[in-house]
Copies of this chain bind each other. A is one copy, B any other.
Amino acid sequence: MIDKEILATIDVDEAVPGKTRDALRAAHLYYMQDLTMDAIAHELHTSRSSVSRLLSHARASGLVEISIHSPLDLPSRIEHEILERFEVQAHVIPVPDHASDVDRLDRVALSAARILGRFIDSNLTVGLAWGSTMGAMSRHLVPKATHNSEIVQLNGAGNLRTTGIVYASELLRRFGDAFGARVQQFPVPAFFDDPATKQAFWRERSTQRLLDLQGRLDLALFGIGSPFAEVPSHVYQGGYLERADYEGLSRDGAVGDVATVFYRADGSTDGIALNERATGPDFATLRRAPRRICVVSGRAKLAGLRGALAAGLITDLIVDEGTARALVESPAD
């Protein structure tokens, strides 16, 4: 029995490289030598269909990397302006203005997932927020082999699974798989009902360990929550917050949240009652991460984005074109 299992394991370990080798060779022939798939099929003694599939595999598994370089003398005006005004490196994703919010999110997430590979590397501790944006990204990650990296969940989440929102554990797993990283779950709700419970929980040693990791991030990755957006298709729908909570947020002047921590337009968080029950790291902690990537899509999140910029939470911004334009067209900082 044990032998069988070992054999099976070996079998897989041997079989995969075989496929990978073929995929690699097919990729060379296709992308470097411009052969047609038909010709490659002939060289590999297989069918054209299989070559098509091999190439898909090669792309999906990161064997083939496609990158786009703007000529340095033509660096998108918008990205440049964002850098000037906010000291943030922007990646603007072209999306037509008439696209629906869902399309927009998907397209930004797809591009973001592909850009992400540039930031992830070995020996990194990566903090990951939980939300619809991260969920969408998780579906499109391009694998990249790293060693000794770790993905740390930044904020809690329930187990609901509404449209487009993925279990936190599933989300973590996808990121972990894609980068060969260990995964640190944070099994708490998004918001505690009672601040005292949170306090108590925070004193647990297992929680301490996680908080400690959160304090030593190399990279943080998060979206922006906008509680008052027209289409609040996120955490706020899941029944996490009640009418009274919204009213409280409104009264406190909150314009958005990062990993369940809310802030005002000027980036301040003090005195926002709900934060006492939130599970994400406070901003001082978050800002310790040297690189902090924010993915935003949709004008509805503009106010939230402005606040996060004011709070100095962001070092790299991935954003759709319309929102970027709106950001830059505002009167002043």
Q: Which residues on the B side are within 8 Å of A71 (C-beta)?
A: 20, 63, 145
CB proximity of A75 to chain B, nearest CB, Å: 11
Of A29-37, A213-221, A228-236, A273-281, the segment with at least 4 beta carbons within 8 Å of chain B is A29-37
One of B24, B29, B93 near A70 (C-beta < 8 A): B24
Query: Per-residue 0/1 for A113-144: is the Cβ within 8 Å of any B Cβ (1 yes, 0 no)?
Result: 01100000000000000000000000000000
Given the known inter-chain contacts A29-B94, A32-B114, A96-B43, please indicate yes or no for A24 contacting B68, CB distance below 8 A.
Answer: yes
One of B32, B34, B66 near A64 (C-beta < 8 A): B66
Q: Which residues on the B side are within 8 Å of A330 (C-beta)?
A: none
CA distance A148 to B107 in the complex (A): 39
CA distance A66 to B68 in the complex (A): 9
Query: Per-residue 0/1 for A59-75: is the Cβ within 8 Å of any B Cβ (1 yes, 0 no)?
Result: 00011111111111110
- In the complex, the answer to whether B63 meets A68 with C-beta atoms within 8 Å is yes
**Which residues of A7-61 have CB atoms within 8 Å of chain B's CB atoms?**
17, 20-21, 24-25, 27-29, 31-34, 43, 58
Chain copies in the assembly?
2
Chain A residues with a Cβ closer than 8 Å to the other chain, count: 36
| A110 interfacial by beta-carbon distance below 8 Å | yes
- In the complex, the answer to whether A145 meets B72 with C-beta atoms within 8 Å is yes
- Nearest CB in chain B to that of A58: its residue: B68
Given the known inter-chain contacts A21-B74, A32-B114, please indicate yes or no for A66 contacting B65, CB distance below 8 A.
Answer: yes
Q: Which residues on the B side are within 8 Å of A69 (C-beta)?
A: 62-63, 65
Q: Which residues on the B side are within 8 Å of A115 (C-beta)?
A: 32
One of B32, B62, B68 near A110 (C-beta < 8 A): B32
Q: Which residues on the B side are within 8 Å of A93 (C-beta)?
A: 28, 32-33
* Sample of 21 A–B contacts (CB below 8 Å): A20-B71, A20-B74, A21-B74, A28-B93, A28-B94, A31-B66, A32-B68, A32-B114, A33-B93, A33-B107, A33-B110, A33-B111, A43-B94, A62-B69, A63-B68, A63-B69, A63-B70, A64-B67, A65-B67, A67-B67, A71-B145
User: Residues on A close to B: CB < 8 A?
Assistant: 17, 20-21, 24-25, 27-29, 31-34, 43, 58, 62-74, 93-94, 96, 107, 110-111, 114-115, 145
